[in-house]
């Protein structure tokens, strides 16, 4: 699913964010990415959906070598990846339904299929009754559930979540974790960067720790490993 070999990323300002990363992630895995601020976690995640390009090294995602892919195919490749952000990134003037339908409209689905699929994912995240609300009318946890629904509406093989519970209280965070686990149980690979020691140490999964641009730990059913 994901294969990185000898990956380096140096930003134009001279900062080296990744310093030789080798890692393989298989289809269906659930992986936590942990490490201190500035370690390179976001850069690692952004390489996967080609928001940043490596300075050096090989990045293969869904059998596509991102080094060799033509720019015009990038949007197509991104359609197989759902992304969930800490700050949700919902469009404030659109309803919940429209925020989710947006991703389907760009691939020219029929209105009937769009409606069926949007209601299906809203059901999965427990928000069928909020389809007509706008984001401001929802709690933080509900907004994050909308953003997860949006991320999975195209049936991606991979969902990347960059600190999805970073802005949520502990109770709400567990609800989000349950949904991500449910999506994983249906076969979707999940890669989740997180600072939640409680979640990582309770819901045991593979843990990849990044420090100073290097993978310093990669454990099956690992621990968070930091004090905060
Ligand atoms: P983390 O997500 O673990 O906090 P990042 O990948 O965001 O780490 O950052 C790794 C390093 O790269 C940090 O020193 C950060 O300041 C730097 N960095 C991140 N993004 C950029 C950018 N667009 N331009 C320059 N430096 C950046
Ligand atoms: P949480 O406990 O998840 O933080 P809130 O207390 O923020 O939830 O919200 C509880 C309920 O009130 C939610 O179902 C949400 O839809 C509704 N709600 C929150 N803020 C608004 C708002 N500005 N306008 C309308 N409804 C709101």
37 in a structural domain:
yes
Q: How far is the CA of 145 from the centre of ligand 2 (A)?
A: 13
Cβ 138 under 6 angstroms from ligand 2: yes
Residue 191 is inside which H or E element, if any? Answer: strand 189-193
Q: List Cβ<8 Å contacts ≥24 apart for 117-121.
A: 117/153, 118/149, 118/153, 121/149, 121/150, 121/152, 121/153
Domain that holds residue 108: 2-219
Question: Helix and strand tally (H, E) in the chain?
Answer: 7, 10
What total number of domains does the chain contain? 1
Cβ 2 under 6 angstroms from ligand 1: no
Closest to 163 in 3D by CA, of 51, 61, 88, 79: 88
Closest to 81 in 3D by CA, of 15, 154, 181: 154
Closest to 168 in 3D by CA, of 82, 87, 83: 87
For atom 23 of ligand 1, the residue with the nearest CA is: 11
90, 135, 137: which to mutate for ligand 2, most atoms within 8 A of CB? Answer: 137
- pLDDT score for 106: 67
Residue 217 tokens, joined? 């730990």
Four-residue CA torsion sign, 147, 113, 92, 42? positive
Ligand minimally distant from the alpha carbon of residue 144: 2
66 in a structural domain:
yes
- pLDDT score for 107: 66
Q: How far is the CA of 169 from the centre of ligand 2 (A)?
A: 14
228 in a structural domain:
no
22 in a structural domain:
yes
225 in a structural domain:
no
32 in a structural domain:
yes
Between strands 56-61 and 2-10, the pairing is antiparallel
User: What is the domain-level CATH number for residue 107?
Assistant: 3.40.50.300
Q: How far is the CA of 190 from the centre of ligand 2 (A)?
A: 28
Instruction: In whole angstroms, give the CA distance from residue 9 to residue 159.
Output: 22
Four-residue CA torsion sign, 206, 35, 81, 172? positive
224 in a structural domain:
no
- pLDDT score for 50: 93
For atom 21 of ligand 2, the residue with the nearest CA is: 137
- In tens digits, the chain (228 residues) has pLDDT values of 999 999 999 999 999 999 999 999 999 999 999 999 999 999 999 999 999 999 999 999 999 999 889 999 998 888 899 999 999 999 999 999 999 998 887 667 888 999 999 999 999 999 999 999 999 999 999 999 999 999 999 999 999 999 999 999 999 999 999 999 999 999 999 999 999 999 999 999 999 999 999 999 999 999 999 997
133 in a structural domain:
yes
Ligand minimally distant from the alpha carbon of residue 170: 2
């Amino acid at each position: 699913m994901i294969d990185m070999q000898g990956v380096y990323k140096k930003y134009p300002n001279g900062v080296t964010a990744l310093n030789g990363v080798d890692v393989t992630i298989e289809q269906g895995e659930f992986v936590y990415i942990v490490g201190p601020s500035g370690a390179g976690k976001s850069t690692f995640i952004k390489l996967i959906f080609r928001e940043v390009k490596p300075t050096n090294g090989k990045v293969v995602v869904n059998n596509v070598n991102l080094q060799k892919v033509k720019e015009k195919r990038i949007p197509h490749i991104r359609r197989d990846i759902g992304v969930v952000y800490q700050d949700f990134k919902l469009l404030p003037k659109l309803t919940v339904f429209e925020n989710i339908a947006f991703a389907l409209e760009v691939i020219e689905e029929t209105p009937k299929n769009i409606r069926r699929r949007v209601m299906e994912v809203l059901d999965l995240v427990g928000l069928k009754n909020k389809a007509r609300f706008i984001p401001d009318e929802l709690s933080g946890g509900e907004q994050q559930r909308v953003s997860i629904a949006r991320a999975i509406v195209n049936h991606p093989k991979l969902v990347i979540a960059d600190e999805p519970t970073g802005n949520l209280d502990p109770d709400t965070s567990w609800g989000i974790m349950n949904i991500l686990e449910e999506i994983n149980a249906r076969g979707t690979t999940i890669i989740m960067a997180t600072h939640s020691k409680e979640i990582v140490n309770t819901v045991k999964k593979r843990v990849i720790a990044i420090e100073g641009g290097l993978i310093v730990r990669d454990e099956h059913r690992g621990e968070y490993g930091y004090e905060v």
